[in-house]
């Protein structure tokens, strides 16, 4: 009973969150001055065709009825048909989301592995030249537009140096040669033992991931630095020095341990941001991800696709939030009760 | 030979208006005894303790004509050499256990770390010594307390843990910087008893830094009275009433006593200092 109650509360919050998310997206989708019927039939269709389509799409019914119908469908896993691709939205999302997921995950890994040590070092050497260098890198992460970095990256590393693959997820002659299992090309090609495809996929993903990783690390390094500075000013750091603890342990054991919880929030937010799909990066690299999909859907007034993609992004946010909550309890003894 | 000899100690901080001395030419000797340093906030008493430990925060600068600990000149000693002394040779109990213990490391691990970083003993022996140290500060169930995190113990218990952590390596010099001012009045005496008892039994020198004249007089052998970065008076603990310096006399006069009736408590008159 005592164990079942939090689980029940958790599911209830989840359900309410999603219902709210659906409601807002749905209402926005219906009040925008875009006619979804015209999007289907085109603006030269006759009045009869128009009306018949409108009825078939259920747009004659009151908004509340439409919404209820939509919710029931979603619960059954049916996100409707996409007007622009002509396929079920759920199918489309199963194809585009893994592409974004793969790139974002690699990006956040790069951001954490480089960004966290950068922040720690900057804090340890506050005001020295290395701190200034890291500060400038961080500032660049805020100031440089993603599409510019993407284009320059392509010119330098793909067109000139030939170090990496070009746009797309894989070389075109390998496209479709890897059986889809998870939708993650690196994983699927490895499972298949197709190392040629793996190498090609890797050479394509490495540049966009590094660019995403750069933006993530700029934010992560800056936050790590300021969290570390706050901890290094605490009395327990003096205590550790009084005990004769070496500087390296003071940094990583005494100052870094307490900030892990705060960092999880920062990393979680960054990751969620990357998972939303960076429209700019996905466009520049012709990456068939969710950012691209959502933008195309919006421009085509493809409301089912927009709602479906929004739902997935919402689920990602909720999932990451709940995940970091759970990690809190593991890492901070004060959060356990 | 004295344990600690300090001659003309200065601690200087640069400011926008030029360098400011927070400790101005302090001199004293400390044997294996209990020395009290009293003074108001900003009188430089805490900085004196930190200067001895080599822990004056940047950009502060420490200079002295003599700064000798146990026959060793501390001036110009490398950071690595100072680090080797901190813990096994000299140690310091800080003010408030709510801030001075690491919130995310178990109490037992924090005490064991003091031994581990100096390469003392094997894992099992460290644990035994850690439990002994907790017992020595009159914690009756050290096994349980060792597993707790600092937020799970009271202030008095936290400060006893702090003392255990600082005596576990049996340093020769113990500095206690306002060790009880963050604690409830009811446990102050107990914590000081424990500290003084350990210091006596292990033959350490104690530097008790406080703003509380009565407390210092009760637990120390000798008292240095600091004002504005300087020692204005040095006297035996029992001789507080015979103080000569107007600052000390003013301080003593302004202490309320339970067995007398006074209209108005005298206030320190700084214009005559």
Q: What does the DSSP assignment read for B106-155?
A: -HHHHHHHHHHTTT-S-HHHHHHHHHHHHHHTT-S-HHHHHHS-GGGS-H
Instruction: Give the C-alpha separation, B189 to B202, whole Å.
Output: 20
Q: What is the pLDDT of residues A91-145, one digit of tens each?
A: 999 999 999 999 999 999 999 999 999 999 999 998 899 999 999 998 888 888 8
Task: State the pLDDT confidence band at A1, using cuts at 50, 70 and 90.
Answer: very low
Nearest alpha carbon to residue A254 among A285, A233, A276: A233
- Given a cut of 70, whether residue A2 has pLDDT beyond it is no
- Does residue A102 lie within any of the structural domains? yes
Same structural domain, A189 and A229: yes
Which residues of A fall within a CB distance of 8 Å from B159?
Answer: none
Domains and their CATH numbers in chain B: 4-272 (3.40.50.300)
Same structural domain, A233 and A318: yes
Tokens 């219902």 -> residue: A19
Which residues of B fall within a CB distance of 8 Å from A331?
Answer: 104
The residue segments making up the domain with residue A53 are 4-75
- Does residue A88 lie within any of the structural domains? no
Tokens 């822990």 -> residue: B55
**How close, in Å, is residue B140 to chain A by CA atoms?**
23
- Does residue A321 lie within any of the structural domains? yes
Same structural domain, A227 and A126: yes
**How close, in Å, is residue A242 to chain B by CA atoms?**
6
Exposed / middle / buried, residue A41 (Cβ in 10 Å: 0-12, 13-18, 19+): middle
State mean pLDDT over B68-90: 91
Instruction: Give the C-alpha separation, A333 to A335, whole Å.
Output: 5
Task: State the pLDDT confidence band at A255, using cuts at 50, 70 and 90.
Answer: very high
Same structural domain, A192 and A321: yes
Count of CB contacts below 8 A, A vs B? 73
Same structural domain, A200 and A260: yes
**How close, in Å, is residue A124 to chain B by CA atoms?**
13
Same structural domain, A52 and A145: no
State the pLDDT at residue A299: 86
Written as six digits, the tokens of A299 are 């421009």
Instruction: Give the C-alpha separation, B107 to B236, whole Å.
Output: 38
Written as six digits, the tokens of A160 are 């000139």
Coil, helix or strand at residue A135 = helix
State the pLDDT at residue B85: 93
Same structural domain, A18 and A166: no
Nearest CA in chain A to B114: A243
Q: What is chain B's Cα-based Rg?
A: 19
Written as six digits, the tokens of B272 are 């005559």
Beta bridge partners of B35: B207, B222
φ/ψ of residue A29, rounded to 5: -60, -30
Task: State the pLDDT confidence band at B76, using cuts at 50, 70 and 90.
Answer: confident
State mean pLDDT over A179-200: 87
Picking from A234, A241, A333, the nearest residue to B86 by CB comes out as: A241
Which residues of A fall within a CB distance of 8 Å from B83?
Answer: 244, 246
Nearest CA in chain A to B82: A244
| CATH code for the domain of A243 | 1.10.3720.10
Picking from A234, A244, A249, the nearest residue to B99 by CB comes out as: A234
Same structural domain, A176 and A320: yes
- Given a cut of 90, whether residue A241 has pLDDT beyond it is yes
- Does residue A84 lie within any of the structural domains? no
Instruction: Give the C-alpha separation, A110 to A141, whole Å.
Output: 14
Q: What is the pLDDT of residues B10-49, one digit of tens each?
A: 999 998 988 988 888 889 999 889 999 988 877 888 899 9
B2-24 burial, b if ≥16 CB within 10 A, otherwise e?
bbbbbeebbbbeeeeeeeebbbb
Picking from A239, A245, A332, the nearest residue to B104 by CB comes out as: A332
Same structural domain, A193 and A66: no
Which residues of A fall within a CB distance of 8 Å from B81?
Answer: none
A69: left (phi over 0), alpha (psi -120 to 50) or beta: alpha
DSSP assignment string, A273-293: HHHT--HHHHHHTT--SHHHH
- Given a cut of 70, whether residue B272 has pLDDT beyond it is no
Same structural domain, A144 and A244: yes
Mean pLDDT of chain B: 88
Q: Which of the residues B89, B100, B108 would you substitute to probe the A interface, choosing the one with the greatest number of A C-beta atoms within 10 Å?
A: B100
Coil, helix or strand at residue A8 = helix
Beta bridge partners of B68: B5, B73
Q: Which residues contact A238 (CB under 8 A, 6 or more apart)?
A: B55, B94, B100
The pLDDT > 90 percentage for chain A reads: 37
| B111 vs B190, higher pLDDT | B111
Strand B222-227 to B34-38 pairing: parallel
- Given a cut of 70, whether residue A227 has pLDDT beyond it is yes
Mean pLDDT of chain A: 87
- Does residue A160 lie within any of the structural domains? yes
CA dist B134 to A94, A268, B156, B163, B167, Å? 59, 40, 13, 9, 10
- Segments in A193-255 forming alpha helices (H): 195-232, 235-242, 247-249
* A100 touches A277 (CB < 8 A): yes
**How close, in Å, is residue A74 to chain B by CA atoms?**
44
Task: State the pLDDT confidence band at B188, using cuts at 50, 70 and 90.
Answer: confident
Picking from A236, A241, A243, the nearest residue to B99 by CB comes out as: A236
Nearest CA in chain B to A328: B104
| Residues belonging to chain A with any Cβ–Cβ distance to chain B shorter than 8 Å | 234-236, 238-246, 249, 253-254, 257-258, 331-334
Beta carbons of B103 and A258 less than 8 Å apart: yes
State mean pLDDT over A307-320: 86
Q: What is the pLDDT of residues B199-247, one digit of tens each?
A: 888 889 999 999 888 888 888 999 998 888 888 888 888 777 777 787 8
Same structural domain, A219 and A311: yes
Q: Please state which of the ranges A136-150, A243-257, B256-270 shows the lowest mean pLDDT.
A: B256-270
DSSP conformational letter for B51: H
State mean pLDDT over A19-38: 79
Q: What separation, in Å, do the N-terminal and C-terminal C-alpha atoms of chain A show? A: 18
Last residue of a domain, one of A45, A75, A105: A75
- Does residue A33 lie within any of the structural domains? yes
- Does residue A110 lie within any of the structural domains? yes
The set of long-range contacts for A279-284, using a CB threshold of 8 Å and a minimum separation of 24, is A280/A145, A280/A146, A280/A147, A280/A150, A281/A103, A281/A146, A281/A147, A281/A150, A281/A208, A281/A211, A281/A212, A282/A100, A282/A208, A283/A147, A284/A146, A284/A147, A284/A150, A284/A151, A284/A154, A284/A167, A284/A208
- Does residue A100 lie within any of the structural domains? yes
State the pLDDT at residue B51: 92
Q: What is the pLDDT of residues A39-89, one digit of tens each?
A: 777 777 788 888 888 787 777 788 888 888 888 888 888 888 888 888 999
State mean pLDDT over A192-198: 88
| A165 vs A1, higher pLDDT | A165
Last residue of a domain, one of A75, A109, A136: A75
Which residues of A fall within a CB distance of 8 Å from B88?
Answer: 244
DSSP assignment string, A95-111: HHHHHHHHHHHHHHHHH
The pLDDT > 90 percentage for chain B reads: 45
φ/ψ of residue B267, rounded to 5: -110, 145
CA dist A73 to A22, A60, A214, Å? 12, 18, 40
Instruction: Give the C-alpha separation, B156 to B163, whole Å.
Output: 11
Last residue of a domain, one of A42, A75, A108: A75
Beta carbons of A333 and B104 less than 8 Å apart: yes
A262-281 burial, b if ≥16 CB within 10 A, otherwise e?
bbbbbbbbbbbbbbbbbbbb
Same structural domain, A66 and A123: no
Number of domains observed in the structure of chain A: 2
DSSP conformational letter for B57: P
């Amino acid at each position: 009973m005592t164990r079942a109650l939090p689980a029940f509360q958790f599911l209830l919050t989840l359900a309410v969150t999603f219902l709210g998310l659906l409601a807002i997206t749905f209402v926005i989708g219906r009040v925008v001055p875009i006619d979804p019927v015209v999007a289907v039939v085109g603006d030269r269709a006759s009045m009869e065709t128009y009306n018949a389509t409108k009825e078939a799409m259920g747009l004659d019914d009151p908004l509340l009825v439409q919404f209820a119908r939509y919710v029931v469908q979603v619960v059954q896993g049916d996100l409707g048909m996409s007007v622009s691709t002509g396929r079920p939205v759920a199918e489309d999302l199963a194809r585009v989301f893994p592409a974004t997921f793969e790139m974002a995950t690699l990006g956040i890994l790069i951001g954490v592995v480089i960004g966290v040590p950068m922040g720690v070092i900057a804090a340890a050497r506050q005001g020295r030249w290395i701190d200034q260098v890291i500060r400038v890198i961080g500032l660049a992460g805020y100031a440089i537009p993603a599409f510019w970095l993407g284009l320059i990256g392509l010119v330098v590393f793909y067109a000139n140096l030939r170090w990496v693959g070009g746009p797309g997820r894989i070389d075109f002659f390998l496209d479709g040669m890897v059986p889809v299992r998870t939708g993650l090309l690196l994983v699927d090609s490895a499972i298949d033992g197709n190392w040629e495809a793996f190498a090609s996929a890797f050479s394509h993903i490495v540049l966009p991931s590094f660019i995403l990783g750069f933006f993530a690390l700029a934010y992560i390094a800056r936050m790590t630095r300021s969290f570390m500075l706050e901890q290094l000013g605490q009395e327990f750091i003096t205590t550790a020095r009084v005990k004769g603890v070496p500087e390296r342990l003071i940094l990583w054991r005494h100052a870094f341990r307490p900030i892990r919880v705060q960092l999880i929030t920062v990393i979680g937010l960054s990751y969620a941001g990357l998972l939303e799909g960076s429209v700019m990066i996905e466009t520049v690299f012709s990456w068939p991800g969710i950012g691209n999909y959502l933008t195309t859907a919006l421009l085509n007034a493809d409301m089912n696709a927009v709602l479906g993609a929004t739902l997935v992004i919402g689920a990602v946010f909720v999932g990451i939030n709940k995940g970091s909550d759970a990690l809190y309890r593991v890492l901070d003894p004060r959060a356990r009760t | 030979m004295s344990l600690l000899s300090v001659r003309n100690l200065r601690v200087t901080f640069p400011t926008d208006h030029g360098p400011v001395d927070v400790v101005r030419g302090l001199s004293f000797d400390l044997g294996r005894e209990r020395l009290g340093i009293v003074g108001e906030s900003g009188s430089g008493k805490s900085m004196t303790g930190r200067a001895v430990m080599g822990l004056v925060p940047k950009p502060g600068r420490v200079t002295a004509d003599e700064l000798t600990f146990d026959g060793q000149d501390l001036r110009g000693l490398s950071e690595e050499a100072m680090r080797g002394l901190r813990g096994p040779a000299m140690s310091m109990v800080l003010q408030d256990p709510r801030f001075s213990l690491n919130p995310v490391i178990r109490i037992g691990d924090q005490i064991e770390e003091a031994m581990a970083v100096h390469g003392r003993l094997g894992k099992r022996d460290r644990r035994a010594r850690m439990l002994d140290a907790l017992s020595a500060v009159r914690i009756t169930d050290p096994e349980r307390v060792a597993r707790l995190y600092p937020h799970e113990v009271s202030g008095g218990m936290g400060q006893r843990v702090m003392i255990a952590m600082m005596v576990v390596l049996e340093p020769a010099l113990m500095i206690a910087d306002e060790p009880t001012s963050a604690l409830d009045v009811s446990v102050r005496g107990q914590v000081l008893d424990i500290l003084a008892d350990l210091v006596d039994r292990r033959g350490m020198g104690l530097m008790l830094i406080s703003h509380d004249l009565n407390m210092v007089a009760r637990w120390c052998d000798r008292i240095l009275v600091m004002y504005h970065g300087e020692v204005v008076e040095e006297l035996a603990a029992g001789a507080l009433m015979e103080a000569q310096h107007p600052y000390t006399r003013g301080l003593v006069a302004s202490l309320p006593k339970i067995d007398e009736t006074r209209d108005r408590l005298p206030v320190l008159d700084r214009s005559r200092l």
